[in-house]
Amino acid sequence: MAELVLRLYIAGNSAGSRRAEQNLHDLRTLLNEAWHIEIIDVMRRPELAEQARIIATPTLSYEHSGRPRRIVGDLSDKKRILEFLGIETGDDP
Amino acid sequence: MYSRHSDLQDGARDSAGRVEIGTSMTDTANRPNIDHGEIRFLIEKNADGIIVVDEMGIVLFANPAAEQIFGRSSDSLIGSPIGIPFVAGEMTEIAIHRPGGDQIDAEIRIVETVWDHRPARLASLRDISGRRAMEERLRHSAKMEAVGRLTAGIAHDFNNHLTVVLGNLESAMRRSRSADPLLKRALENATRGAQQAAVLTERLLAFARRKPLEPRLISPEDLLSRMSDLLQRTLGEKIEVQARIAAGLWGIEVDATELEAAILNLAVNARDAMPCGGKLILEAINVETAAPDRSVADSEIADGPHVLISVADSGMGMTPEVLNHVFEPFFTTKTDGRGTGLGLSQVYGFVRQSGGFVSVLSRPNIGTTVKIFLPAAASSRSPSCHIEPAEQETPRQLPAARPGETILVVEDAADVRNYTVSSLRELGYLVHEAADAVSALGILEREPGIALLLTDLGLPGEMDGKTLGDRAQSSHPSLRVLITTAYAAAALVHEGRLDPGIELLNKPFSFSALAVRVRELLDTGLDDEHMGSRILVVEDEPLLHAFVTDMLAEWGLLAEVAGNFREAVTKIRTDADGLVGAIVDLGLPDRPGHELVAEIRSLYPDMPIILATGYADTSIRARFANVGRLRILPKPFNAVDLIAALQDLGVHASRAE
């Protein structure tokens, strides 16, 4: 099975960045082992941010063949994010 | 902001609650032709940034405010893969990364919409970096305030203990002159340690803005020139010191010793930031308003003219995290034990206490600039002020008591009281002691001949040392009062300076400091009977009355200044005791000087009056020819003219030593 890569771009230690990281961490428990998560601090690796044309953080990028799909925000809307990743949760709130 | 979205929604809301904007297709896919001119106008002129993003997270539209926020043109934004904005709840915060590395914090709100017949999201963005920075500054100043209170409390108690330690060490040394040299050395070492601890508490108090300052009008030019010479000599060859001190700097009213210490602290930091050498620039200029450069949030900061003194280095700089803590006491990055972490704390405390403020700009590997803004003295926006020379400490014989001189010591801490009482007895004074204000007042009633009340400021019960002093003096007007304190509390210090008439002895005090201060105070009283006669000076020009005040002081006379007719009349009606003469300017702002002369004459027919005027022509002389004990003093006059006129009228003036 191909590896599914999620890249979270954050900026330093800001409250928004920490919140997004925590939310992604929580989401991870709902994902299977095929998912691989990378966290990139654009303050430390500005070249990666530039390469990926990141203009706002936090940005979650779903890297798969072809064009990456992205969402921007603190990842607090978990249901929508799972939808975005194409994962059925089954439990409707 | 949200309501403005509602405007849009009212215009074009479909059944799914989505806003539909720009529904007409044109020849290009991502350049829709917006039909609704009004909606377009609203979006274009909106103060918040508005972008429209498609279901793939690609920007379809950006308004001018969004161009501002992103730091990119609409053309370069359109087509960018920003990502689909997801917001749970009303809004969230994101960071915008602009070309060049700047970052802006923005609030983002989302509305689902339809753009070119396809679902899309309209995101409105508001730049909150300014608000964020303001909140951060408020938090920082609240933190500094709390740390300051804590520090002051610790330093206060510590000073009490140090008074006991240092005092007893001194007493032990006096008694062990012929003793074992090893014992003597031990005592000396202990004294040195305690003195260093006293220096430390002094610095803590400086940070907590509780150190009693002695502000004087100084010329920053002179002080800074001397400092730059000193820095050139002391910082070592590897550091090039450049002084850029503007000519004609305004006078500032500060404690010169503390300002020197502040600059020295900054220079030492600069040196330590440049281990391989570099450049230190000491700069000073007048600034009409300090507001744009402000990086502190304290609301009490006054706008208006300031003298800006900055110390810049080309050193390693600081990260924003370090910068956030630089003023905190004991915060240091000097891990090798060179730093106490109190240098910048002193700078901060001193400058804030002097009514100014400090800002620090720093970038890693580029350097640090610390800017000190000190308010220009109101009366001296002229460069012609003199710096007062620092007092020279000369070793002298300790002054002892005159026969029969009696002192009342009031102190609640028994060990401090015992030390003080035994020290004074050793100096030959007769001493009574009390632990609180009520028993002190009792002793004052019973015992005649107490010349001096030496009281701690903090006393148990409802009456503190200052109130005790006031009460005691109201029933014993000739009583001298000396207040001891570990820090200048709010009761004594107003706007960073001591209330007039308060005599203060800072704890910890040494035997010799006690001896000298007590003697001084007891002797001042004797001098007062001969010197210090008061002269009412009525003059609206601040530079001129400052000049007259100085001249009078040189001749042992005290100036009582009034700026206009009204103030002068109030002073002669309510506070005429000891007034031996008046110097009146003929041109006063509210009423003419000759009316004041008539007023003074009606109250005090014999009071000598000098009328100063730039128009001393015959008509004026004729007008006052019949007024007794009056001299006309033509402007400009010098000290000799003034004193001669006073002496002519029978005012006793003799050159003060």
CATH number at residue B632: 3.40.50.2300
Say whether A56 and B96 touch across the interface (CB within 8 A).
yes
On the question of a cis peptide bond just before residue B636, with omega within 30 degrees of 0, the verdict is yes
Shortest Cα–Cα distance, B46 to chain A (Å): 21
Q: What is the pLDDT of residue B53?
A: 93
Q: How many whole angstroms separate alpha carbon B616 and alpha carbon B384?
A: 27
Say whether B97 and A69 touch across the interface (CB within 8 A).
no
From B81, B88, B106, residue closest to A53, measured CB to CB = B81
Chain A residues whose CB is inside 8 A of the B92 CB are 16, 73-74, 76
Question: In terms of domains, do B10 and B120 share one?
Answer: yes
Helix, strand or coil for residue A23?
A: helix
How would you class B142 by CB atoms within 10 Å of its CB: exposed for 0-12, middle for 13-18, buried for 19 or more?
exposed
With a CB cutoff of 8 Å and minimum separation 6, the contacts of A83 are none
Inside any domain, residue B653: no
Q: What is the pLDDT of residue B331?
A: 77
B344's tokens: 């910048």
Inside any domain, residue B368: yes
Q: How many whole angstroms separate alpha carbon B458 and alpha carbon B442?
A: 19
Chain A residues whose CB is inside 8 A of the B72 CB are 55
In this structure, chain A runs to a length of: 93
Question: In terms of domains, do B511 and B538 share one?
Answer: no
**Is pTM, for the whole model, over 0.80?**
no
Chain A: residue nearest B91 by CA? Answer: A73
Of B96, B127, B158, the one marking the end of a domain is B127
Inside any domain, residue B399: no
Shortest Cα–Cα distance, B77 to chain A (Å): 9
CA distances from B332 to B187, B311, B322, B323, B516 (A): 32, 19, 9, 11, 38
Question: In terms of domains, do B272 and B343 share one?
Answer: yes
With a CB cutoff of 8 Å and minimum separation 6, the contacts of B65 are B46, B47, B48, B49, B50, B125
Pairing of strands B92-97, A56-57: antiparallel
Helix, strand or coil for residue B288?
A: coil
Inside any domain, residue B393: no
Say whether B83 and A61 touch across the interface (CB within 8 A).
yes
Say whether B95 and A16 touch across the interface (CB within 8 A).
yes
CA distances from B408 to B399, B413, B463, B507, B528 (A): 18, 15, 16, 18, 22
Question: In terms of domains, do B369 and B227 share one?
Answer: yes
Shortest Cα–Cα distance, B85 to chain A (Å): 5
Say whether A55 and B85 touch across the interface (CB within 8 A).
no
Chain A: residue nearest B97 by CA? Answer: A55
Inside any domain, residue B203: yes
Domain count, chain B: 5
Question: In terms of domains, do B180 and B235 share one?
Answer: no
> A4-84 has which fold?
Glutaredoxin (3.40.30)
Of B63, B95, B127, the one marking the end of a domain is B127
DSSP B24-82: B--SSTT--B---HHHHHHHHH-SSEEEEEETTS-EEEE-HHHHHHHTS-HHHHTT---
Starting at the edge strand found earlier in the chain, the sheet holding B367-375 runs B239-245, B278-287, B306-313, B367-375, B357-363
**CATH number reported for the structural domain that contains residue B281 in this entry:** 3.30.565.10
Say whether A72 and B81 touch across the interface (CB within 8 A).
no
Say if residues B63 and B44 touch (Cβ distance below 8 Å). yes
Say whether A73 and B85 touch across the interface (CB within 8 A).
yes
Question: In terms of domains, do B225 and B343 share one?
Answer: yes
Say whether B82 and A15 touch across the interface (CB within 8 A).
no
Say whether B83 and A72 touch across the interface (CB within 8 A).
yes
Inside any domain, residue B400: no
B541's tokens: 């020009």
Say whether B89 and A76 touch across the interface (CB within 8 A).
yes
Residues of A with CB under 8 A from a CB of B: 11, 14-17, 42, 46, 49, 53-61, 67-77, 80-81, 84
Shortest Cα–Cα distance, B253 to chain A (Å): 42
Say whether A67 and B103 touch across the interface (CB within 8 A).
no
Say whether B95 and A14 touch across the interface (CB within 8 A).
yes
Q: How many whole angstroms separate alpha carbon B216 and alpha carbon B253?
A: 5
Shortest Cα–Cα distance, A7 to chain B (Å): 13
Chain B residues whose CB is inside 8 A of the A26 CB are none
B37's tokens: 């001119």
Give the residues of chain B that fall short of pLDDT 70.
1-36, 209, 212, 290-302, 334-340, 379-397, 487-502, 525-532, 614-618, 636, 653-657
* Residues linked to residue B123 through DSSP beta bridges, in sequence order: B51, B110
Chain A: residue nearest B125 by CA? Answer: A56
Q: Label residue A88 by pLDDT band (50, 70, 90).
A: low
Shortest Cα–Cα distance, A70 to chain B (Å): 4
Question: In terms of domains, do B622 and B539 share one?
Answer: yes
Question: In terms of domains, do B145 and B121 share one?
Answer: no
Question: In terms of domains, do B537 and B518 share one?
Answer: no
Tens digits of residue pLDDT in A26-79? 888 888 888 889 999 998 888 888 888 899 999 999 877 666 789 999 888 888
Shortest Cα–Cα distance, B118 to chain A (Å): 17
DSSP B575-595: --TTEEEEEEESS-SSS-HHH
Chain A residues whose CB is inside 8 A of the B70 CB are 55
Say whether B83 and A46 touch across the interface (CB within 8 A).
no
The stretches of B208-342 forming alpha helices (DSSP H) are 220-234, 256-273, 320-323
Say whether A14 and B57 touch across the interface (CB within 8 A).
no
Chain B: residue nearest A74 by CA? Answer: B92
Q: What is the ipTM of this complex?
A: 0.88
Chain B: residue nearest A58 by CA? Answer: B94
Say if residues B482 and B505 touch (Cβ distance below 8 Å). yes
- Best of A53, A55, A64, A75 to substitute, by most chain B Cβ atoms within 10 angstroms, is A55
CA pseudo-torsion sign B426, B198, B500, B393 = positive
Gyration radius (Cα) of chain B, Å? 34
Burial B369-387 (b: 16+ CB within 10 A, else e): bbbbbbbbbeebeeeebeb
* Residues linked to residue B203 through DSSP beta bridges, in sequence order: none
Say whether A56 and B86 touch across the interface (CB within 8 A).
no
Tens digits of residue pLDDT in B498-519? 665 667 888 878 888 888 888 8
Reading phi first (left if > 0) and then psi (alpha if -120 to 50, else beta), residue B298 is in: beta
B510's tokens: 């040494």
B413's tokens: 């801490």
Say whether B93 and A57 touch across the interface (CB within 8 A).
no
Inside any domain, residue B322: yes
Say whether A56 and B94 touch across the interface (CB within 8 A).
yes
Question: In terms of domains, do B21 and B118 share one?
Answer: yes
Question: In terms of domains, do B95 and B158 share one?
Answer: no
Say if residues B255 and B222 touch (Cβ distance below 8 Å). no
Inside any domain, residue B394: no
B497's tokens: 């300076």
B460's tokens: 């148990």
Shortest Cα–Cα distance, A85 to chain B (Å): 12
Say whether A71 and B83 touch across the interface (CB within 8 A).
yes
- Best of B52, B68, B73, B94 to substitute, by most chain A Cβ atoms within 10 angstroms, is B94
Chain B: residue nearest A51 by CA? Answer: B81
Question: In terms of domains, do B224 and B250 share one?
Answer: yes
B126's tokens: 């508001």
- CB pairs A-B closer than 8 Å: 86
Domain ranges in chain A? 4-84
Q: What is the pLDDT of residue A92?
A: 44
Q: How many whole angstroms separate alpha carbon B405 and alpha carbon B95?
A: 74
Chain B: residue nearest A49 by CA? Answer: B97
Of B127, B158, B175, the one marking the end of a domain is B127
Domain that holds residue B451: 406-522
